[in-house]
Structure 1
Amino acid sequence: MENKTPIIALVDDDKVFQLTASRTIKAAQLTDKILQFENGEDALVFLKNHASDSETLPDYIFLDINMPYVDGWMFLEDYSLFKTKLSKPIEIYMVSSSIDPRDVDRARNNENVRQYIIKPVTREKFIELLGKAAA
C-alpha cells in the first residue's frame, strides 16, 4: 500500500486551537487534508455519511473533551456503536487542556483513544504522534 497523505480531523470548539493546529500540521508538512468540526455531533454526522468512503474518512481525529452539545465522551460513546461500519480504522487522540486525573484515566481506559494529549499541542508532538502512527 502506498504511503498516501493522511486525512486529519480536528474536533474542537476552540477556534484558536483549530487555527494553530491546522497551521502547525501544514507547516510540518504532515498533511494538507484537514477536516474541522466545532462539535462532536458534526463530526459524527460526517463519519456516518462517509462511512463507506475511505478516501474521505479521516485517518486521525484530534478530539477535544469539552465542547458544547456533543462533547468528546459522548462522541466516543456514539463512535463505538458504529465504528465497525467505517471502511477504515481511525486513530483517535483525545486533546484537552484538562489535567484532571479522572479525564486522563477515563481516556486511557477507552479502547478507542490512542493517547491523551494535554494542550497546547506542539509541532513536535504532532510530528511524533503522526510519525509514530504512520510507522
Structure 2
Amino acid sequence: MSQNIESVCIIDDDSIYINLVSKIIQLKRLSQSVLVFNNGKEALDFFHESIRTDLEVEVPQVIFLDINMPIMDGWEFLKEFSKIRNDISDVIDLYVVSSSIDTRDIDRAKSIDVVSDYLAKPIKLDDFVRVLG
C-alpha cells in the first residue's frame, strides 16, 4: 500500500494504544510519520507554534483525538482548535477516537465542524485503511 498520508497525529494519553496504532500505521505503510501528543494542550501548543512561526512545520493531514485525557481533554482541545483551524492552511481530517459508545458523545463530536467522524476504540484495521488509505 502506498503512503498517501505524509503525517498522522495521535492525541492520546494511553501509551499502549499509541504504540499499537503507531505500529499498525508503520507496518501497513499508511503514513510516513506519526506525531504523538499525550494531551490536548501539547497538541494545541504545537498548532499555535505552526501558525506563529514561518518555519516549515509538518502539520499532520489526519488527527486521531481521544476524548478523556488529563491536562486538556479532547472536548477542550476541539473548542480551542476550532478557533484556530482557519489559520492553518493545510487540510486536516480530525477523527474523535474514544471507547465511549454513549450516543451523546458521538452526536456531540459529530456536531463539531472540525470533526470528520467518530471512531470507537479499538479502531479496526479496516477503519485505518479507509481513513488513511
**TM-score (normalizing by structure 2):** 0.90
Q: SS of the residue aligned with 2:31?
A: coil
Identity of aligned residues (%): 38
> Counterpart in 1 of 2:17?
17
Identify if the C-alpha distance between structure 1 residues 92 and 126 changes in structure 2 by more than 3 Å, giving closer, same or farther. same
Report the counterpart of residue 50 of structure 1 in structure 2.
50
Instruction: Write out aligned runs for 1:1-135 (5 A).
Output: 5-51=5-51, 56-131=58-133
The answer on whether the counterparts of 2:11 and 2:66 sit within 8 Å (CA) in structure 1 is: yes
Letter in 1 for 2:33: K
Deviating 4+ runs (over 6 angstroms): none
Change (3 A) 1:120 1:4: closer
Distance 1:97 1:124, change over 3 A: same
What are the ranges of 5 or more consecutive residues in structure 2 without an aligned counterpart? none
Aligned length in residues: 129
Are the aligned partners of 1:10 and 1:34 in contact in 2 as well (CA < 8 Å)?
yes
Root mean square deviation of aligned Cα: 1.6
What is the rounded CA distance, in whole Å, between the counterparts of 2:18 and 2:43 in structure 1? 14
Q: TM-score, with normalisation over the residues of structure 1?
A: 0.89
Unaligned stretches of 5+ in structure 1? none
Range that drifts further, 47-56 or 106-115: 47-56
1:119 maps to a residue whose letter is K
Tell me how far apart the structure 2 counterparts of residues 4 and 118 of structure 1 sit (CA, whole Å). 23
- CA separation of 1:53 and 1:97: change in aligned 2, threshold 3 A: farther
CA contact (8 A) 1:28 1:123 kept: no
Q: Distance in 2 between matches of 1:45 and 1:126?
A: 26
d(CA) in 1 for partners of 2:56, 2:98: 27
Report the Cα offset of residue 5 of structure 1.
Answer: 4.1
Secondary structure of the structure 1 residue equivalent to 2:72: coil
